[in-house]
């Protein structure tokens, strides 16, 4: 272990030694001689050959030479300490390499280097993450989570080679049909309460992406492993959007968008005065409206969209029905277990899966 630990340390020192060699070539020569010895020892270990003891003894003797004269009694404990330290260096290095490989594979396959807490990965795209549960409570659970992460990574790797172009996933949402002859099919999964989704939507709208493609908008209230919703009124909004889409357009509605789409557009783009300040509707639904206030606001919009009392009551009843609960549950299952999304927004277009805010 001593020779392997020395090789690892020498590799880490290479940059510093290389710089010092510019001014002191003798340092580089001495380092290179020692490095070749360590590599020879490591090479034999890799090929399961017996390692020469000379290099190991050289390392230990060089460390102990200054101790043996002044503190002879310290030689044995320090020698043991060198062996233990060598084992720790090797174990830490191996663990770091495994964790680095795990993070890299997760980033490539899932779009995040942290499987349980995607938002905490600074290397991944900016997302509203679909987090796991509260995390391990003891070392045994931590081991289970570690292997579970590997399972998620390996299950998502085939997605990188999957043909997403003509796949039918069975998601239900809002259909936006384009007049563009070259329109492509797009699946856009988002949470009405997610600030990254708001930014993504605005970019899509301003760039003409939504008008130029056949977009299927999938409103998706993010839940954690325990069933709690990430944003306070997201599920209510999604329920009403799906219920309005199922109800159809009222005869008196003259808006540019379908009523279901108009609800989302208002939440992402419009503002209203509240407590003396102009606040965007997403902020109001997330942080200010109670569930009763949020539902009252949604019903008031239905009235604006031309739905009479009977239709509004029908939509409200449908929004709280098992039918809508079933659609939300089905979408959730497809997004998490088939698409393997770890963050929202997630889009499928041009035959690929894209995680994070839309970019032109």
Token representation of residue 23: 């001014």
Residues 6+ positions from 270 with CB-CB distance below 8 Å: 280, 281
- For 88-97, 213-222, 298-307, 330-339, which range has the lowest pLDDT when averaged over its residues? 88-97
Residue 34 clears pLDDT 60, i.e. is over it: no
- The per-residue pLDDT for range 285-320, each reduced to its tens digit, is 999 999 999 999 999 999 999 899 999 999 999 999
pLDDT of the residue at 2: 44
Q: Is the pLDDT of residue 47 over 80?
A: no
Q: Tell me whether strands 343-344 and 128-129 are parallel, antiparallel or unpaired.
A: antiparallel
Given a cut of 80, is residue 266 above it in pLDDT? yes
Strands 185-190 and 214-219, bridge-based pairing = parallel
The whole-number pLDDT of residue 226 equals 76
Cβ atoms of 112 and 344 closer than 8 Å = no
Q: What angle do CA 154, 155, 161 make, to 5 degrees?
A: 90
Overall average pLDDT of the 133-139 stretch: 66
CB-based contacts of 32: which residues, under 8 Å, 6+ apart? none
The pLDDT of residue 225: 73
CB 157 within 8 A of CB 109: yes
Higher pLDDT, 38 or 125: 125
| Residues near 94 by beta carbon (within 8 Å), at least 6 away in sequence | none
| % of the chain exceeding 70 in pLDDT | 72
Write down the pLDDT at residue 45: 52
Distances from the Cα of 66 to the Cα of 57, 59, 85, 184, angstroms: 15, 13, 19, 74
- Segment of 112-121, 210-219, 249-258 carrying the highest mean pLDDT: 210-219
How large is the average pLDDT for residues 330-339? 91
Residue pLDDT, tens place only, 237-254: 999 999 999 998 887 887
Most confident by average pLDDT, 3-7, 154-158, 251-255, 275-279: 275-279
The token pair that represents 336 in the structure block: 């998490």
Domains plus CATH for the chain?
A: 2-101 (no CATH), 103-158 (no CATH), 164-355 (3.40.30.10)
Q: What residues contact 33, with CB distance under 8 A and at least 6 apart?
A: none
Statement: residue 89 has pLDDT above 80: no
DSSP H helices in 270-344 = 281-287, 291-304, 309-319, 322-333
In this prediction, residues 218-226 reach a mean pLDDT of 87
Mean pLDDT of the chain: 79
- pLDDT value for 100: 82
């Amino acid at each position: 272990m001593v020779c392997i630990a020395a090789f690892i340390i020498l590799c880490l020192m290479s940059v510093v030694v290389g710089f010092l060699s510019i001014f002191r070539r003798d340092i580089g020569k001495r380092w290179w001689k020692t490095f070749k010895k360590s590599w020879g020892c490591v090479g034999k270990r890799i090929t399961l050959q017996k390692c020469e003891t000379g290099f190991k003894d050289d390392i230990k003797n060089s460390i102990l030479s200054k101790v043996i004269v002044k503190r002879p009694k310290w030689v044995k404990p320090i020698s043991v300490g060198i062996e233990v330290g060598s084992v720790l260096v090797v174990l830490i290095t191996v663990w770091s390499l495994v964790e680095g490989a795990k993070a890299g594979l997760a980033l490539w396959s899932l779009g995040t280097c942290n499987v349980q807490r995607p938002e905490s990965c600074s290397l991944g795209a900016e997302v509203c993450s679909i987090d796991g549960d509260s995390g391990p409570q003891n070392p045994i659970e931590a081991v289970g989570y570690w292997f579970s992460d590997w399972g998620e990574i390996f299950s998502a790797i085939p997605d990188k080679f999957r043909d997403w172009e003509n796949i039918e996933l069975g998601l239900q949402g809002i259909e936006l049909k384009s007049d563009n002859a070259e329109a492509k099919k797009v699946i856009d999964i988002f949470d009405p309460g997610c600030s990254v989704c708001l930014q993504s939507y605005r970019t899509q709208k301003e760039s003409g992406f939504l008008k130029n493609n056949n977009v299927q908008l999938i409103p998706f209230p993010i839940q954690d492993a325990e069933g709690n919703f990430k944003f306070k009124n997201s599920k209510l909004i999604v329920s009403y959007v799906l219920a309005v889409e199922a109800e159809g357009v009222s005869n008196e509605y003259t808006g540019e968008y379908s009523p279901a789409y108009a609800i989302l557009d208002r939440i992402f783009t419009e503002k209203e005065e509240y407590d003396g300040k102009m606040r965007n509707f997403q902020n109001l639904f997330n942080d200010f409206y109670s569930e009763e206030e949020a539902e009252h606001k949604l019903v008031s919009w239905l009235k604006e969209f031309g739905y009479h009392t009977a239709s509004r009551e029908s939509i409200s009843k449908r929004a709280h029905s098992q039918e809508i609960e079933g659609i939300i549950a089905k979408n959730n299952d497809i997004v998490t277990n088939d698409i393997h999304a770890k963050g929202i927004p997630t889009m499928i277009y041009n035959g690929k899966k894209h995680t994070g805010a839309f970019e032109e």
